[in-house]
A and B are shown apart, each in its own frame.
Chain A
């Protein structure tokens, strides 16, 4: 399965979410590869400091990536691609890819949301902070709009930033991090969506080892 992570607004943490979900999948013993179609090429920065060995597929566009990933997918592999804020124009049949849009519950993102809202996409809310009134309301709003297309919510957690600053994997820097739990949860939900059943508990045990 080719999973495309994108956002209609920059700076919402697409690379962070894509990288951490790829790492969670690897810790769940799934075969996973990553690809970065953005100009920043920051996905490798998130993956590079981790212990997990995740192959990097190099390609210039989605069609090329799709062809490159076919072989990988035949053995049940999952390809996580960060396409940033690019609009995904491609000719690949919809059933062969999963579009995941990352949303941050802030006013700028909410102003663009109605125009970008696509019922065929799945959504992850990143950087939610329950203590801030607008963040909480915007998160509820998105949940009401996208309903069952919501994969999960990543709570705002400075540990993500700190772990990168320390050049340490998040699961080692702060194993009890709220965001880490949320990334694991989203990865688990993603696996359920593509028909792979795994136990979240097994993944957590693997984390501790």
Chain B
């Protein structure tokens, strides 16, 4: 794993240029998309949402 990958997302946010006028205010950018895949309930929920989206069910 490269050094960049093990850097926490929060630190990455700090390194962004916050002086930009269009800088996103979101600070909750610490998502780790890997971790929730370990939980079957969340996997099923994600599949269901994807299915609804595909079926064009109004979500």
Task: Pick from A107, A143, A145, A153: contact of B46, CB below 8 A.
Answer: A145
Task: Pick from A107, A153, A192: contact of B28, CB below 8 A.
Answer: A153
B side interface size, CB within 8 A: 19
Task: Pick from B27, B32, B39: contact of A134, CB below 8 A.
Answer: B39
A side interface size, CB within 8 A: 25
Residues of chain B with a CB closer than 8 A to A138's CB: 36, 39, 42
User: Is A65 interfacial (CB-CB < 8 Å)?
Assistant: no
Residues of chain B with a CB closer than 8 A to A134's CB: 39
Q: Assess whether A141 is in contact with B28, with CB atoms less than 8 Å apart.
A: no
Q: Assess whether A144 is in contact with B36, with CB atoms less than 8 Å apart.
A: yes
Report the minimal beta-carbon distance from B29 to chain A, rounded to whole angstroms. Answer: 9
Residues of chain B with a CB closer than 8 A to A140's CB: 31-33, 35-36
Q: Which residue of B lies closest to A193 (CB)?
A: B25
Q: Assess whether A141 is in contact with B45, with CB atoms less than 8 Å apart.
A: yes
Q: Assess whether A141 is in contact with B36, with CB atoms less than 8 Å apart.
A: yes
Q: Which residue of A lies closest to B49 (CB)?
A: A114
Q: Assess whether A141 is in contact with B59, with CB atoms less than 8 Å apart.
A: no
The 4 closest A-B pairs by CB, nearest first: A141-B36, A114-B48, A137-B36, A141-B42
Question: Known contacts A117-B52, A144-B31; can you find 12 more A-B pairs with CB under 8 A?
Answer: A113-B45, A114-B52, A117-B59, A118-B59, A137-B38, A137-B42, A138-B42, A140-B32, A140-B35, A143-B28, A148-B26, A150-B26
